[in-house]
A and B are shown apart, each in its own frame.
Chain A
Amino acid sequence: MSITNPDARSLVADTRASVASYIKSGQPYIWLTAAAITVAFIITCALLVLTAARGLPHFWPAGLVQARYLQPGAPAVDVLAEIRSREEVTAARLKNAGLPVSEDQPLYERLLIKVGNRDLLGSDFRFVLSDWLVERSYPRDAVVLERMEWGNFHGFLESVRIDGKVVEGEAAWTAYRAAQGRVNELRERIRDIEKVQIGSVNYELERLRLAERRLQIEGKTPQSHPDAYAELAARRKEQDARYQQLREQLVDLNREANRDTVTMRTVDGQLIEMPIFKLVDGYRPNAMGTFEKLGHFFAKVWSFVSDEPREANTEGGIFPAIFGTVLMVLIMSVIVTPFGILAALYLREYARQGPLTQAIRIAVNNLAGVPSIVFGMFGLGFFVYFIGAGIDRAFYPEASPAPVFGTPGLLWSSLTLALLTLPVVIVATEEGLARIPRSIREASLALGATKAETLWRVVLPMASPAMMTGLILAIARAAGEVAPLMLVGVVKLAPSLPLDGNFPFIHLERKFMHLGFHIYDVGFQSPNVEAARPLVYATSFLLVLVVISLNVTAITIRNRLRERYKALDH
């Protein structure tokens, strides 16, 4: 039903007179209000489409164009590049940039192309004018190599040397693919030894050092407590032996991995030999069919979410950031749920309803609107500098002067965000409690249940979807929040995950990586913004996807809840 005159078929249709009466009728203003909501709607959709449209093509193998770039007054350059974007630019701006453009043509199309080969060319990206990029072709044998360092390599496969034997021609590609697979497996094993096993040895050694320091602080000398020191020495020896063994394994593996090389020819004819161990992946985008490309796309998406970042976060995956975000949000949920529900129960069920409770309710509600950076300051000042430093003095004197909890870390981030999201949970739970009809509580009490029993058996189960909504909204807020985390614990690159195989397995004092901060850091602090940009869009898209699906879930639950209680009202 519409509020308008029910006779009219359309609320803006019936004035068909002069301009003056059209204006007088108020129709233009109604159209304007309609336009406002249209604009808001379009902005929302455009934002979502924009992040998706910019993020996803990052995984799609784009074709490599081979062409000759003829800039007047400069030597011709051969390029083998991927076209990233195109835009129209006025001649005046180009002239300003020092390009010899002609004044007769007011507009030029400018392309941003990725030429790769940063080690040879200095930078992987360059702007070119479309008009000057001639003799374009898409050679089927053009190869993109993803490297561990220096970004992508664009060129043609010349030959592959496998265990001393040189393979050339079409067989070289097959041989290269096989060698790449073998090397990637070896790399996994090397990484496992370096990170996990040697990491655990180092962790153990550090613990032994701290144990010894602790003995010294407690005034126990090797003379007075020989047993304790002997045990430490024995354990240290054990770890040293383990380390030696791992070291030898590592040397062997590295020799194996560095065995094969590949020789590439760049578009301007240079021959370059590189060890396959320095490569991550190689593909020939121009020779791929749609299905192959799709397969490549999904493989890339998978490695994006499951790999570690490379090259100052501008390449590789974002697994540690996803992991850090999830772990932080989980710990936060564990803290915020019980306390939020307790506070809501108190305010709604136990506190005497009066002006004071009402004031507290408004205050709690308004805390949700306090800038998040203020919570971050509080977290840094109170949790880190005050409580954290206190914990260090009391429990970790042996680590001094290095702080353990007296520095930003996972625990403090979770606590800060728990505080930040408490109002969300309290408000949602309270709303849920308020929706439960009084008659239901009274029925329970009349049957002889105590207040606690009524709450536990009747009210809370009925309010649980509301609590769920609150929690989901809290998680969505926490997952996207960055400003406070910059003060209390995120870093651009964490050396180790806060959860690993070393006792006590979860390391609350460690710093961690976070999706939102990753976006900020890679987008704004990275040395190669252009190269990192697609990655940031992809990360943004992932974050948007997570946050929005959480919100949609919350909204769906809330709507279902409303339906359910509508039935109860009668």
Chain B
Amino acid sequence: MHESSSLSTARSFESIVAGKAPGVRGRYLKDNLARWVVGIGGLGVIGALLLIFVYLLSEVIPLFAPPRVEARQTIQVPGPQVPTVYVAAEEQGEVGMRLTAGGDIVFFDLHTGAVRSIQQLPQANRGIVGVTTLSADTGEVAVQWTDGRISIFRHTYRVTYPDDRRMITPVVEYPYGETPLAFMNEPGHALAVRSERGTLLMAGAARSGEIVLKRYTQEESLFGDVTLQEGPQSRFLPAVKPDILLLEPLLTWLYVIDRQSGKIAFYRLLTDEAPELVEVYAIGSAARDARYLAGGISIIVAQADGIVSQWFPARRPDGTAYLARVRTFAADTDGATITALGAELRRRTFAVGDETGRVTLFYATAGRRLITEKMLDEPVAHLSFNPRAKYLMAVGANGTIRGYDVHNEHPEVSWSALWGRVWYESYDEPRFLWQSSSASADFEPKFSLTPLSIGTLKGAFYAMIFAVPIAVLGAIFTAYFMSPEMRQLVKPTVEILAALPSVILGFLAGLWLAPYVETNLPGVFLTLLLLPLSIPLFGYLWAHLPRKLRYRIPPGWEAAILIPVVVLVVWFCFTIDKSIEAMLFGGNMQAWMDQELGIHYDQRNALVVGIAMGIAVIPIVFSIAEDAIFTVPKHLTLGSLALGATSWQTLTRVVLPTASPGIFSAIMIGMGRAVGETMIVLMATGNTPVTDFSLFQGMRTLAANIAVEMPESEVGSTHFRLLFLAGLVLFVFTFIFNTLAEIVRQRLRARYSAI
């Protein structure tokens, strides 16, 4: 007995039916197999859907990763042991360049410090008193000799691949000839040289405190030879002591900076006359150093109080130019003096070095301090980025060179840059701007998500304004008043609208509705005004019709008799529309609005998008809201009616309070759809990222922005990742909205079943 029972339990592991028939094992094998396949497949699919979120996140996270620097081997200054006046590093971060006070150009290996080659500038024996860059990107450098003359050379690097190995050969060229150009008759200081559209302009300070300017004009012959035409020299006495001169690349502005008193004199350069002083600005403390940022618009000034300030020319509302102090950066030097400034060549990143050997990296537009690193044990004398900004060279006052590999891919991102008003170069005030793409490195990228977010909310807002009344009121009638036969026809018809591809709605909105609304604007407003008014009026008249006529319409079919009414009212509005426009608005309502109200009208505007996207949202909101109202338990309404309430009272006091969470979730889901809708917005708005809520202007939404810019975005760039951030925001936003709505609905369902 005991034995048999244990036998039966053992067998029950196999099967409850305990068959010994052949094939049973196979069947269980199959059963288990199915369990595994479904389990793995199902979890895999769910995992794949989860992957979307993980992937979006993985593309976004590097945006917020802090910048890093990695030190290379410390090396001693290579070549002749005379002071260094200029350093640079080439694109790949392999070869460095050092210009000595003696006029030797030393090319050296940035890893080992080994000298690659030494070239001497012509006239080198005289000694260099000043050095400046014409243009950092082309590698053109000007030096001033003790006799006051100027030599201009260019250091470039030829990359060849003999035997599939990269070889970099440094080359020195003389774009303006090897003979030094006449400038001053004495060793000047504060040299500044720029070349722009055939004009070479030199500026320098003489011992007398005067500023000397000299122009050369370049002429290119038919054969491509460049000849320099020497122009006259001019002198003027600046308003402040000229310690540092900065010349704008376009040769419009000249900045004269007085170190000790901390003053900037801002001059406008004129071709034939002496420069005109615009204004003198006090920076607040003594100035240490100043230089241009990439792009040639902003200057940064290192101050004695440990602050670096950024300045650029802007315009006052009356149109006059002034020098704006745009933002300041606290170098956090603990009182240490700033001794060196270095700027990236293609982005607005700059480095600040102090006397303790500490170097701090900032990004100007984002107003952001990126990283602080103690790079040297001596005061920093020179800081130089290579053109790709992957390498930073710090040269100490005592001749130590330390190179750093810089990992700083996304300095442009900060909270204030993404969401705040930012004062961009060439603008007169801080603004919200999204301008992502430009071919030129001089362009300051403008990554404000505010206009896009506002555009998204604006579109969704107007769409909801249009859709919610129609959808929710329609749902109320359909679920509560409509006869079942009519409901069977109406509900699927409206729901079909949800299946209408949004590209068709967008196309109709952009190419049919937008021009139609533009030419029939009074009719549109008339419809919005008259339609809601005429319906109750019709109801009143209806109640006064003879009973016989009224009883012909079965209960619950009221909506059907309204079809001709609505059509008639709309037709009437658009028929008299032109006459109204001709009578009231001088025949052109847009012009009238522009003149009388100051409202600018775009053809593709929020009104059109609101209607089109509203139509896309109506069926969604309608369907869910209708379900919520329809499933309100019948005994509740019947009870209310039995107690003598009218049907309207029952609706507002019993049905709607019960169904309101469902209606709410319907609106939320509709909102989610409106926020993420792409094609309609893409086609029916002008896609201009403006920051306003005007009904008559366009917008650019996050989703449309992704569709427009994603295909052209460079993989891995800040722009690319910001688009993913926009996508992630959309994802999370709609996901949260939908989840909330779903939870509300499930609770509602539970409550209904409890009643």
Contacts and interface: CB of A to CB of B under 8 A. Distances in A.
Nearest to A516: B503
Contacts, number: 404
B643 interface: no
Contact of A34 (B481, B579, B679): B481
Taking chain B's interface residues, is the majority helix, strand, or loop, or is none over half, making it mixed?
Answer: helix
Interface string B456-485: 000000000000011111111110111110
Contacts of B500: 47, 480, 544, 547-548
A534 to B, nearest CB: 11
Interface string A473-508: 000110111110011000000000000000000000
Interface in B474-515: 474-478, 480-484, 490, 492-494, 496-497, 499-508, 510-512
Contacts of A550: 499
A89 B679 CA distance: 31
B28 interface: yes
A380 B471 CA distance: 36
Interface string A543-568: 11001101110010000000000000
A448 B19 CA distance: 10
Given A44-B493, A93-B587, A487-B707, A37 B37 contact: no
B647 A4 contact: yes
B481 A350 contact: no
Contacts of A95: 587
A364 interface: yes
A92 B586 contact: yes
B499 to A, nearest CB: 4
Interface stretch (A9-17, A60-68, A200-208): A9-17
B638 A34 contact: no
A1 B484 contact: yes
B481 A487 contact: no
Interface string A61-105: 000000000000000000000000001111111011000000000
Contacts of B547: 13
B35 A33 contact: no
Interface in A370-395: 370-378, 380-382, 385
A529 B706 contact: no
Given A347-B42, A452-B35, A520-B506, A47 B59 contact: no
Interface stretch (A171-179, A313-321, A338-346): A338-346
Contact of A366 (B558, B591, B650, B735): B735
A13 B556 CA distance: 11
B31 A38 contact: no
Chain A contact patch, size range? 35 or more
A450 B711 contact: no
A25 interface: yes
B669 A540 contact: no
A345 B501 CA distance: 30
Contact of A39 (B497, B566, B706): B566
Contacts of A544: 500-501, 504
A450 B23 CA distance: 12
A8 interface: yes
B582 interface: yes
A93 B588 contact: yes
A5 interface: yes
A346 B581 CA distance: 63
B750 interface: no
A335 B246 CA distance: 64
Interface string B515-528: 00001000000000
A45 interface: yes
A524 interface: yes
A29 B535 CA distance: 9
Interface string A411-433: 00000000100110010000000
B752 interface: no
B45 A38 contact: no
A164 interface: no
Contact of B477 (A34, A448, A523): A34
Contacts of A44: 493-494, 496-497, 619
B672 interface: yes
B673 A350 contact: no
B683 interface: yes
A343 to B, nearest CB: 4
B676 interface: yes
Nearest to A456: B34
A373 B734 CA distance: 12
A234 interface: no
A350 B35 contact: yes
Contacts of B634: 3
Given A38-B562, A43-B618, A45-B493, A350 B499 contact: no
Contacts of B542: 12
Contact of B543 (A16, A29, A448, A548): A16
Contacts of A548: 496, 499-500
Task: Point out which of B508, B538, B724 has the most chain A C-beta atoms below 10 A from its C-beta.
Answer: B508
Given A8-B555, A536-B507, A543-B501, A369 B738 contact: yes
Interface stretch (B50-58, B156-164, B347-355, B409-417): B50-58
B727 A374 contact: yes
Contacts of A351: 42
Contacts of B731: 370-371, 374
A360 B737 CA distance: 16
A451 B477 contact: no
Nearest to A486: B707
Interface string B689-727: 000000000000001001100110001000000011001
A249 B536 CA distance: 77
B269 interface: no
Contact of B535 (A35, A41, A372, A529): A35
Given A16-B544, A450-B30, A548-B496, A346 B501 contact: no
A34 B504 contact: no
A470 to B, nearest CB: 14
B582 A90 contact: yes
A10 B676 contact: no
Task: Point out which of A34, A96, A362, A370 has the most chain B C-beta atoms below 10 A from its C-beta.
Answer: A34
B584 to A, nearest CB: 11
A165 to B, nearest CB: 48
Task: Point out which of B496, B499, B566, B638 has the most chain A C-beta atoms below 10 A from its C-beta.
Answer: B499
B48 interface: yes
A434 interface: no
A326 interface: no
Contacts of A96: 588, 591
Task: Point out which of B35, B49, B492, B746 has the most chain A C-beta atoms below 10 A from its C-beta.
Answer: B49
Contacts of B44: 339, 342
A33 B622 CA distance: 12
A288 to B, nearest CB: 29
B27 interface: yes
B657 interface: no
A34 B562 contact: yes
B553 interface: yes
A32 to B, nearest CB: 6
A107 interface: yes
Nearest to A559: B492
Interface in A450-481: 450-453, 455-456, 476-477, 479-481
Rank and list the top 4 A-B pairs by shortest CB-CB distance, nearest first: A346-B42, A92-B587, A371-B676, A26-B648
Given A369-B669, A483-B682, A533-B511, 7 more contacts: A96-B588, A346-B38, A373-B678, A520-B506, A536-B507, A543-B503, A543-B504
14 contacts: A27-B540, A31-B535, A32-B473, A90-B587, A92-B588, A366-B738, A369-B738, A370-B676, A374-B52, A378-B55, A378-B56, A450-B28, A451-B34, A520-B679
